[in-house]
Structures are given as C-alpha cells and as structure tokens.
Structure 1
Amino acid sequence: MKKFIKNIKKYKSYMMYSAKAILKSEVAGSRLNWLWWILDPFFFMLVYTFVALVVYGKSEPYFPLFVFIGLNLWNYFSKTVTKSVKAVKSCKGMISKVYLPKYILVLTTMLVNLFKMLVAFSLVVVMVPMYHVPITWRLIEIVPLFLVLSIFTFGCSCILLNFGVFVKDLANVVQVVLKLAFYMSGIFYSIAKRVPQPYATILLDFNPVANIIHGARNCILYESHPMYGVIGIWLVISILLSIIGVRLINKYENSYVKVV
C-alpha cells in the first residue's frame, strides 16, 4: 500500500501530462473540439428516448435526464475497462524503454474519461432546471457512489490489464461481456420498475454499475437514497479487486515486454 501511494505521488505529473495530451489529441483537427464529449452521449440519449417513448411507449419521470445520467456513468466505466485491456500493448514502445508501474496507465485512462464525464455532466446542470427537477441536499450523495464506481473500475481494469497481456482474445471477450452488461444495467429503463422480481433485485445486487446508476438517479432526480447496504458491500469487493489487480501487476509486469 505504501509503495502504491508513493508511486501515485511520484508519477502524478506524468498522469496529468499524459491525460492532457490524450484529450488534446482526441479533439485535434475537430471544429467542435470538446463539445463532442457532450454531443456523443446527448445524441445517444435522443435515440434511446425516441425508442422508449415512440416505439415502446414507456418512460420514466425526467426521462432524457434519466438516460443521460446512466449513459455518462456507464461510459466512464466501460471505456476505461476497454482501454485498459489493451493498455500495455498500446504503450509497448514507451514501457520497453522506461519503467512505469502499469496501473499508472489505468489511472491515466480514468483521468481522461473522468474529465469527459464531467464535461458531459455540465449538460445535466442545464437540463435540471429546464425539467423543473427539485434540487435537494441529496445531490451530495452521488459522491460516495462515484467513489465506489471509481474503485470498482480501477480494480477491474488492473486485473484485465494484466490478463490482457497474456490472453490475446481477451479484448474481444470483454467487448461482448460489456455489451451484455450494458443492457443489464438499466441505462434506458428502470430495473426496479420494469424488471419483475426476483430478477430486479438480483440485477441490482449483483451488478454494481447498475446499482450505482440507480442510486445516482435517485439522488439527482427522485429525492431518494441509494441502496447503501449493497453499495457498502461493493465498496469492500472493489477494494479487494483493486488490491488483487495491483498485486498481479507488481508480480508480472517485468514479463509484459517479453510477451507483447
């Protein structure tokens, strides 16, 4: 743990510089620049809103916001995990010349996707008064939810980064699993209302991303608490996953260059 914290402090400047460089490279040559980070989930929100309202005739209160919140939290998790599986291979040239704790690559990716999510969430700030959503103190309850999501994302990403070096097809497997998880996370529907029992409880209890999205919507839109009991359990699990991931990287990272 001490070594982990020491490395975070040591490579903090690198993470910030690398994250800025990645963000700048993504919008280089684009006239809309960072606005794409808002427009991307916004357009998906419009599509899912159309499908739910027009095709299926079902929705939830404040439905555009409902979808937008879910999409942004999901993108933060899924894009970090997807990128982390190939992180070592993507940075092969650098890590073969300079030593860098490989979980720093995960943290850099998280910073990039965190910034994108915060930019996109600026639209939520605009949409909340537009839809006359009550603003209450429960908004601050999204902070522990985001903390758990970040720890869970870090743990999963570190483990997948390690095995992604040795298992060539892991990236494809992760893509399939994430597509399945997307539809099981209630991005454009309410699991609690639309999924019959006991399956709704199973999905919310065993899918931490779904539970966190559900809790975030409760805090922002519906003046309600998250499911703190389940969130607490997933906090412990996420910490354990992070410890396992960091230890796997520390144990095997010297052999990464030989494999990739």
Structure 2
Amino acid sequence: MGVYKKFYHEVKDNFDLIRYLTVFDLKTNVSRTYLGFLWWILDPLLYMSIFYILVHVILGRGGPDYPIILFTALIPLKWTTSCLVDGTSSISGKGRIIKQIYVPKIVFIIVRLLVNTVKFSISSVVLVLFLYFYGVEVGITYLYFPLIILVQAFVIFPFMILFAHLGIYIKDVKNMMQYIARILMYISPVLFTLDTVPKHLVDYFYINPLTTFIESYRNILIHGDAPLWTPMFLIVVFSVILLNVSLHLLFKYENQYAKVM
C-alpha cells in the first residue's frame, strides 16, 4: 500500500500544479487554431463522418441505426487511444523541464489524462445531442454515464503510467502506440456490433477491456439497459493490480529518467 500512499500525497501536494498545467494545455490547444474551441465540437463530428461514409455509404454495411451505433463506440475509442498515445510521451516529452527542476513524474501523466478527458466530455455532450436529434429517447440509464467514464478513466490510468515508463527506455514505444491504437479499433466492436460476430468468438472480444465499455455505453445510451457490471468489476480488479505495478515502476525509477533522457 506504500505506493498508493505516495501517490495520494504527490497528487495532494501538487494539486495546484496539476490544475494549472491542465488549464494551460487546454488554453494552448485553443489558441493554436483559428476555430479554437469549436474544433473540440467539430472533431468528433468529422471523425464519425469519415467512418460513416466509408463503412455505411461506400461499403454499404450497417443498418438504419448505424450512425448511433458507430458514434457511441468511436468517441470512447478516440478518448482511450488519445490517452494512451499522449501518455507514452507525457514524461519523455518533458525532458528539458525534468533536467532543470524536480517535478513528480506522475503529474505529467495525470495532466494528459485530464486534458483528454475534458475533450472527451465535450465530445460526450455532442454525442448525447446527436442521439437526441436522431430520435433516441433520453432515459434514466443516462445517469450511469458519468460513472462509466470514471471507471474507464481509472482503467486507462495504469496503462498510461506503464507506457510512460516504457517510453523513457524504449524510444520505439511512441511509434508503436500509433499501430496499437489502430489495432484497438479492429479488435473492439466499433464498426460492428457483437450480435454480428459468430457466437464462439464473442467471448474473445471481452479479453479487450474496451469491449466492455463500448457495450456498456451502447446499453445505457441506446438500449436503456444497465452497464455490464460483472465484466467491469473484473476489469477494475485487474486495473488495481496493474496500477500497483505501474506506480511501483514509476516511483522506483523516476529519479533516473533525467539521466536516461
């Protein structure tokens, strides 16, 4: 439990720094483009439109509800991949700062998670509005939405720490993450639903944690059903173990990062 205690104190002692860096990063992203904040709204719409035109219009796949099936999966997928890719370089990309002054390395990882989560939250608002105008009835199950987001963020976090640590010592990890992000799309029920998959293969898809979250989002937002509590609980248990391992690696080697970089 020592790593969790250290994690708690580092977050508590650097809370203001985390908040400042998160706000600064968001403001910087807005100031670098002409459309600014509007890009955070247009981005998920354009992202969905590309896949909708490719799969539904050109290839003729999917049914009448395919846009909402696609959108409810693409938004969580984009959040996940963005966190993992950014997390990989969250420490290695701060080499100049790390060599000049001591900053707990966990700070940089948390900032990347928060920045991407803010963008995801805005995309989620766009998603809910899209579902409403598409004719999907807003139900009581929508209240599960923030809870699933918190659980998914908790699951993503230890992976970000692990990849951030590996990114210091293995420079190719950052390049590999681009391919891993693409693979995640094809091994997750993003462009399709699990009822179109042969029954003997469905269980294999649940080895990928993202499958549970995508199906849970679709359940609460489209079908009015509960999230997949049992698979989600098992994923959380695994994430607790992985978080312990990842934090242990980070705290053990973080003082060596400046020398390696």
TM norm structure 2: 0.93
Matches of 2:154 and 2:120 in 1, distance apart? 16
1:115 to 106, 109, 118: 118
AA paired with 2:108? L
Runs of 5+ consecutive residues of structure 2 not aligned to the other structure = none
Question: Counterpart of 2:179?
Answer: 176
Question: Counterpart of 1:198?
Answer: 200
Structure 1's 61 and 193: CA in aligned 2 closer, same or farther, altered over 3 A? farther
Matched, 1:248 2:259: no
Matches of 2:15 and 2:69 in 1, distance apart? 35
Alignment of 1:25-104 (within 5 A): 25-60=28-63, 62-104=65-107
Contact 1:76 1:110 in 2 (8 A): no
Deviations 1:159-184 (Å, cap 9, x if unpaired)?
11111111121112222222111121
Deviates more, 1:29-38 or 1:160-169: 29-38
Matches of 2:189 and 2:177 in 1, distance apart? 19
Matches of 2:32 and 2:176 in 1, distance apart? 33
Matches of 2:56 and 2:151 in 1, distance apart? 32
Contact 1:215 1:226 in 2 (8 A): yes
Runs of 5+ consecutive residues of structure 1 not aligned to the other structure = none
Deviates more, 1:225-234 or 1:59-68: 59-68
Question: Counterpart of 1:222?
Answer: 223
Q: CA deviation at 1:101?
A: 1.8
Q: CA deviation at 1:29?
A: 4.2
Structure 1's 29 and 156: CA in aligned 2 closer, same or farther, altered over 3 A? closer
AA paired with 1:231? M
Contact 2:85 2:177 in 1 (8 A): yes
Contact 1:76 1:113 in 2 (8 A): yes
1:7 to 1, 6, 10: 10
Matches of 2:72 and 2:237 in 1, distance apart? 25
Matches of 1:30 and 1:147 in 2, distance apart? 29
AA paired with 2:156? T
Contact 2:92 2:164 in 1 (8 A): no
AA paired with 1:197? K
Q: CA deviation at 1:243?
A: 1.4
Contact 1:208 1:234 in 2 (8 A): yes
Alignment of 1:140-179 (within 5 A): 140-179=143-182
Structure 1's 17 and 209: CA in aligned 2 closer, same or farther, altered over 3 A? same
Q: CA deviation at 1:195?
A: 1.7
Q: CA deviation at 1:78?
A: 1.0
Q: CA deviation at 1:61?
A: 5.7
SS in 2 for 1:33: coil
Q: CA deviation at 1:257?
A: 0.3
Q: CA deviation at 1:155?
A: 0.5
Q: CA deviation at 1:49?
A: 1.6
Q: CA deviation at 1:92?
A: 0.9
Contact 1:151 1:242 in 2 (8 A): no
CA RMSD of aligned residues (A): 1.6
Aligned length: 258
Matches of 1:128 and 1:54 in 2, distance apart? 20
Q: CA deviation at 1:56?
A: 3.1
TM norm structure 1: 0.93
Question: Counterpart of 2:192?
Answer: 189
Q: CA deviation at 1:96?
A: 1.6
Matches of 1:194 and 1:59 in 2, distance apart? 10
Contact 1:145 1:231 in 2 (8 A): no
Matches of 1:237 and 1:193 in 2, distance apart? 26
